[in-house]
Amino acid sequence: MSLNGCQHLQNYKATTGTETFKIIYSYFITCSTADARRKKAQICKCVKCDVVRPRLHACLSCIYFGCYDLKHIHEHSLEKKHQLAIDVSYGSVYCFMCEDYVYDLELEELSKTQCQKTPMSLGLKQRFFPWEPTEEELILLRCNPKRRRVTEASHIGLRGLINLGNTCFMNCILQSLTHTPILRDYFMADKHACLKNDESEQCLVCEMARLYQEFYSGSRTPFIPYKLLHLVWTNARHLAGYEQQDAHEFLIAALDVLHRHCKEMNGVSGSNPHHCNCIIDRIFTGGLQSDVTCKRCNNVSTTIDPIWDISLDLGPGPIHSSQVLSSIAAAAVNNTSTSQTTASTEFTHSPAPGFTNSPGNYEPTSLVECLKRFTKTEHLGNSAKIICSKCHSYQESTKQLTMKKLPIVACFHLKRFEHSTGYHKKISTFVSFPEELDMTPFMSSSRNNINGHSGPNLHSASCDNKYSLFAVVNHYGTIESGHYTCYIRSLKEQWYRCEDHLIKRATAGEVLNSEGYLLFYHKQVLEYE
Amino acid sequence: MADLQERKLKDAHMRATINQKLVETGERERLKELLRARLIECGWRDQLKAYCKEIVQQKGLEHITVDDLVSEITPRGRSLVPDEIKKELLQRIRTFLAQQSNV
């Protein structure tokens, strides 16, 4: 098979040109206008049997449609001596003389541009094209004939990290990030184009890219992430020093620095300052919707905030909620001008960590329970009255948080460290979490004004909102001193336990029975952009 | 007998009308895109591609035509489509038809 068609196609192109091909293509194969669709609906059927069947072909020499399966188009070709026809469903050209489909570079290019017009005219997303190697990549592939295959038993991508002095909080986050499937794909595909050419040493994103190279190099000795640590220290001063740090705090700081460095790459002049398109935001940012309902007139004031993680309360809750409430009340007062305020100015900054909500007076024992509590309607009491933007009175209200937009990677932070009411302690309650999580009940679209939850959702048949667990960070010890380790999922179902430089195989049961502190879930199905 | 004939004719007519509507409104393209996406997601495309490669390698690139390949893979291709996807598509078509009052 070649991309130069056959001699019959070349003759056809020389005498007729490509205009007919283009017209047939744009009217009957990839319609991009309403007019074309109307015409296609009217005349696109077999002239012989007047029925729409699969594999309809159109003659390239005259206006004729015929079935391929029933050989009606073959009959036409024989009778009229027309040698070429085009498949109406796929746009491939068939040559009756060669008795097979033929491929021509020029026509392939034409059809590619045509194909992109259809989804555009219907407001659909661009069609997915499988990867095709470019000339350059073909040369590279030919020059490097050795292929590595990932098998069940391979340890590819696993590497221990040396503890540089109480840096287990960093190591477990690095392990979790390097085993985030979509982030790994980004770095392994070499997608980060750094503009800091001369000072790429200063770019944390470049350092992450190097970390991936180290992890996948096949080397089995533990890696020493001293450069990375140094970069984090210089960019997030509050983490500098050899003290024990909170892994969650490190995660947020790391995401923030990565996000800032990506942004510098993209150039701040980039089209819309409110919408960052960097890899970190595309993967980790979700939208949290907060609906504050006035108790008097039922007016709902909605705000949507970008978030990178969801912090879930484990304790009995409402004792310390007053301070949270007053801050919400203050925010709500600022927003009284319009009832539909979307986070606009806030978007210029990084998403704020640690949104909390904890109505109810109980201690949840599972992640789903935590999430139920997180998204439950909360009565903002007497102490948190706000001025309603509609009835302009000083009123009590209710608040409900729901997920407006789900991130690709959802990080759940179980707040095991209680700092709120003067005493500091660690909550070591066992909180169960599933391997597969469906977020549908916690979506804004499932919001029910009356009682918060409408039970199992009816339209949750699709797996659009389903997540799989891929990393768990654990903390051992007390609030003052302790140790972090993590479990990561490599390959499809194999779990590993990472403790600094040690990596051991683990079972899913072990993971699910561990005392989770940070839980990382990955979306099962990705939407196309 | 005449009844059956009549019904068949009516069915064919109905089918043609529905198809026309689907094409005209662009819904057919939307369904096609949905189906394409779902088949990729569930691995159908990869499975079938692997099967095609197998056949081509077996017979040799020079001795095989698209027709041969189509007739070889069609039965497997049909049987591999998950029921869930068929159901989703059917549901979408039903919803679409319910919205079209004049069919």
* Closest residue on chain B to A38 (Cα): B24
Distance CA A163, CA A245 (A): 13
Residue A361 confidence (pLDDT): 59
The model's confidence at residue A461, banded by pLDDT at 50, 70 and 90, is very low
Residue A252 confidence (pLDDT): 92
The model's confidence at residue A495, banded by pLDDT at 50, 70 and 90, is very high
Answer for the pair A161, A175: CB distance below 8 angstroms, yes or no.
yes
pLDDT > 70 fraction of chain A, expressed in percent and rounded: 83
State whether A128 and B61 contact (CB < 8 Å).
Answer: no
- Which of B9, B11, B17, B20 is the mutation pick for testing A, counting most A CBs within 10 A? B20
The model's confidence at residue A275, banded by pLDDT at 50, 70 and 90, is low
Say which of A99, A121, A128 has its CB closest to residue B40.
Answer: A128
Tens-place pLDDT, residues B36-71: 888 988 899 999 999 999 999 999 988 888 889 999
Say which of B30, B36, B65 has its CB closest to residue A122.
Answer: B30
Answer for the pair A184, A214: CB distance below 8 angstroms, yes or no.
no
Average pLDDT over residues A392-407: 88
Residues of chain B in contact with residue A121, where contact means CB-CB under 8 angstroms, are: 26
Residue A389 Cα to chain centre, angstroms: 35
Say which of A37, A101, A122 has its CB closest to residue B66.
Answer: A101
Residue A96 confidence (pLDDT): 92
Residue B88 confidence (pLDDT): 92
Question: What is the domain-level CATH number for residue B41?
Answer: 1.10.246.140
State whether A41 and B33 contact (CB < 8 Å).
Answer: no
Q: Structure tokens of A47?
A: 């002239």
Lowest mean pLDDT among A159-173, A218-232, A354-368, A497-511: A354-368
Phi-psi domain of A307 (left: phi exceeds 0; alpha: psi -120 through 50; beta: other): beta
Residues of chain A in contact with residue B35, where contact means CB-CB under 8 angstroms, are: none
Given a cut of 90, whether residue A499 has pLDDT beyond it is yes
Tens-place pLDDT, residues A203-240: 888 899 999 999 988 888 999 999 988 888 888 888 88
Distance CA A306, CA A283 (A): 12
Given a cut of 60, whether residue A502 has pLDDT beyond it is yes
Residue A321 confidence (pLDDT): 42
Residues of chain B in contact with residue A127, where contact means CB-CB under 8 angstroms, are: 33, 36
Average pLDDT over residues A230-254: 87
By CB neighbour count within 10 A (0-12 exposed, 13-18 middle, 19+ buried), where does A111 fall? buried
Given a cut of 80, whether residue A362 has pLDDT beyond it is no
Q: Which of A23, A18, A77 is nearest to A47 (CA)?
A: A77
Residue A266 confidence (pLDDT): 55
Residues of chain B in contact with residue A128, where contact means CB-CB under 8 angstroms, are: 36-37, 40
Tens-place pLDDT, residues A24-39: 888 888 888 888 888 8
Residue A264 confidence (pLDDT): 65
State whether A42 and B20 contact (CB < 8 Å).
Answer: yes
- Chain A residues within 8 angstroms (CB to CB) of chain B: 1, 31, 34, 37-38, 40-42, 44-45, 51-52, 92, 99-101, 118-119, 121-122, 124, 127-128, 461-462, 525, 528
State whether A41 and B21 contact (CB < 8 Å).
Answer: yes
State whether B26 and A37 contact (CB < 8 Å).
Answer: yes
Among candidate residues A168, A172, A370, A486, the one labeled active-site is A168
* Closest residue on chain B to A45 (Cα): B16
Tens-place pLDDT, residues A411-434: 999 998 877 666 778 888 899 999
Lowest mean pLDDT among A78-87, A155-164, A313-322: A313-322
A8 flagged as catalytic? no
* Closest residue on chain B to A117 (Cα): B29
Lowest mean pLDDT among A97-106, A111-120, B51-60: A111-120
Given a cut of 70, whether residue A373 has pLDDT beyond it is yes
pLDDT > 90 fraction of chain B, expressed in percent and rounded: 47
Q: List helix spans (H) across A218-376.
A: 226-235, 247-266, 279-284, 321-334, 367-374
Residue B72 confidence (pLDDT): 93
Residue A129 confidence (pLDDT): 73
What is the largest distance, in Å, between two alpha-carbon atoms of chain B?
A: 53
Phi-psi domain of A198 (left: phi exceeds 0; alpha: psi -120 through 50; beta: other): alpha
Distance CA A469, CA A477 (A): 24
Higher-pLDDT residue of A289 and A130 is: A289
Distance CA A56, CA A77 (A): 14
Say which of B24, B36, B67 has its CB closest to residue A38.
Answer: B24
Residues of chain A in contact with residue B24, where contact means CB-CB under 8 angstroms, are: 37-38, 41
As for how many domains chain B has, the answer is: 1
Distance CA A487, CA A77 (A): 65
The model's confidence at residue A333, banded by pLDDT at 50, 70 and 90, is very low
For tokens 């319910």, the residue is: B98
Interface size A-B, in CB pairs within 8 Å, comes to 49
A294 flagged as catalytic? no
Q: At what angle do helices A226-235 and A247-266 cross, to 10 degrees?
A: 80
* Closest residue on chain B to A52 (Cα): B16
Average pLDDT over residues A161-186: 91
Q: Which domain holds residue B3?
A: 1-100
Residue A394 confidence (pLDDT): 83
Say which of A42, A121, A127 has its CB closest to residue B33.
Answer: A127
State whether B21 and A124 contact (CB < 8 Å).
Answer: no
The model's confidence at residue A299, banded by pLDDT at 50, 70 and 90, is confident
Given a cut of 50, whether residue A449 has pLDDT beyond it is no
* Closest residue on chain B to A127 (Cα): B33
pLDDT > 90 fraction of chain A, expressed in percent and rounded: 33
Residue A323 confidence (pLDDT): 40
Average pLDDT over residues A47-65: 86
Chain mean pLDDT for chain B: 89
Say which of B16, B41, B65 has its CB closest to residue A52.
Answer: B16
* Closest residue on chain B to A459 (Cα): B88
Average pLDDT over residues A430-444: 92
Residue A73 confidence (pLDDT): 92
Whether the pTM exceeds 0.95: the reply is no
Distance CA B9, CA A303 (A): 57
Tens-place pLDDT, residues A116-173: 887 778 877 777 777 888 899 999 999 988 887 777 777 788 899 998 888 899 999 9
State whether B16 and A118 contact (CB < 8 Å).
Answer: no
Among candidate residues A8, A74, A230, A483, the one labeled active-site is A483
Residues of chain B in contact with residue A122, where contact means CB-CB under 8 angstroms, are: 26, 29-30
Strand partners, A172: none
Q: Which of A284, A320, A433, A299 is nearest to A366 (CA)?
A: A433
